[in-house]
Amino acid sequence: MPLVNTKEMFEKAYNGGYAIGAFNCNNMEIVQAITEAAKECNSPVILQVSAGARKYAKPVYLKKMVEAAVEDTGLPIVLHLDHGADFEMCKDCIDGGFTSVMIDASSKPFEENIEITRKVVEYAHAHKPYVTVEAELGTLAGIEDDVKVEHGHESYTKPEDVEEFVRRTGCDSLAIAIGTSHGAYKFKPEQCTRDENGVLCPPPLRFDILEEVSKRLPGFPIVLHGSSSVNQEYVKIINENGGDLKDAVGVPEKQLRQAAKLAVCKINIDSDLRLAMTAGIREHFNAHPEHFDPRQYVGDGRKYVKELVKHKITEVLGSVDKA
Ligand code: G3H
Ligand code: 13P
Ligand code: ZN
């Protein structure tokens, strides 16, 4: 099976009450961990590449590794550009064989966002085979590449804007801001309460916005960025093995599971992979300070990422046996 776009995947996910995991890839071990986990769960998956990943690994390596994963697993896999900054970057990926792109003009004024998004959609949809386009309305807090949006400067998606935006752009899916944010520090401690173990509990996502958006766009796939849960077991392993991650907090998995049952068809996860990889490597070095073969310590990181992805597919996304 060749790489696929998101169209049929999202239709099935919408109707089936589950979401597709969109995992960020930066190197071979991450690609293998995600796709081997997906294979064992018989789950479709989106492998996404950011501008930072393109700079780190070079687009050609990422593309070939993802193609290798398709050949290895036989799964339906989407190769997606994450947070495409402008038309040129989207065009480059479409021409280079990506099956889906995100144009992220969410920091621009509404009319400008529409104009840039429509231009990408026209190019992507005219491409053979058809490339799907994700757009974004509203801004998340956190860090993406070099852009940092401080807490308090994020803005929730306005439901009254979404019909006009989708109609005028023709985009295939829409990322909305309902309280998720990028990175491993999604909420300031003062925004949270603490449970009996002192663990931070963040404020709930704005399900009212999600519900209003999906009422206005029946059947239309919604995307959630910034959806790592910052699983505390990995934070603990990192901190017990020489790391120093203080007050790292994510979106509770239960809320993401709930969103996946609603109109959310794509859930973006990157920070959780980074934490799992780091936990595996730190633990390895602490136990084996004499080791210097990357296959040993990166291999342990890969094992932890694979376990994490299996957990996400079964407990959060609900996409087991949907390939
Ligand atoms: O949304 C951001 C993703 O986590 C990608 O992060 O730009 O550091 O590759 P990156
Ligand atoms: P996290 O930082 O929560 O993993 O979000 C990743 C993301 O949204 C990639 O686009
Ligand atoms: Zn994102």
pLDDT tens, the chain, 323 aa long:
899 999 999 999 999 999 999 999 999 999 999 999 999 999 999 999 999 999 999 999 999 999 999 999 999 999 999 999 999 999 999 999 999 999 999 999 999 999 999 999 999 999 999 999 999 999 887 665 556 666 666 789 999 999 999 999 999 999 999 999 999 999 888 889 988 888 889 999 999 999 999 999 999 999 999 999 999 999 999 999 999 999 999 999 999 999 999 999 999 999 999 999 999 999 999 999 999 999 999 999 999 999 999 999 999 999 999 99
The phi and psi torsions of 266 (rounded to 5 degrees) equal -140, 125
Cα–Cα distance, 283 to 296 (Å, whole number): 12
In this structure, are strands 142-144 and 132-137 parallel, antiparallel, or unpaired? unpaired
Distances (CA, A) of 304 to 231, 256, 278, 295: 12, 21, 9, 14
Cα–Cα distance, 208 to 159 (Å, whole number): 10
- Nearest Cα to Cα of residue 184 among 253, 246, 230, 146: 230
C-alpha 286 – ligand 3 centre gap (Å): 32
C-alpha 36 – ligand 2 centre gap (Å): 21
C-alpha 196 – ligand 1 centre gap (Å): 33
| Residues with C-beta less than 6 Å from any ligand 1 atom | 24, 50, 52-53, 82-83, 144-145, 182, 270
Distances (CA, A) of 164 to 115, 123, 167: 12, 20, 5
Taking the CA of 226 as reference, the closest ligand is 2
Does residue 82 have its Cβ closer than 6 Å to ligand 2?
yes
Q: Which of 176, 186, 268, 316 to mutate to test the pocket of ligand 2 (most atoms within 8 A of CB)?
A: 268
Query: Has 104 been annotated as catalytic?
Result: no
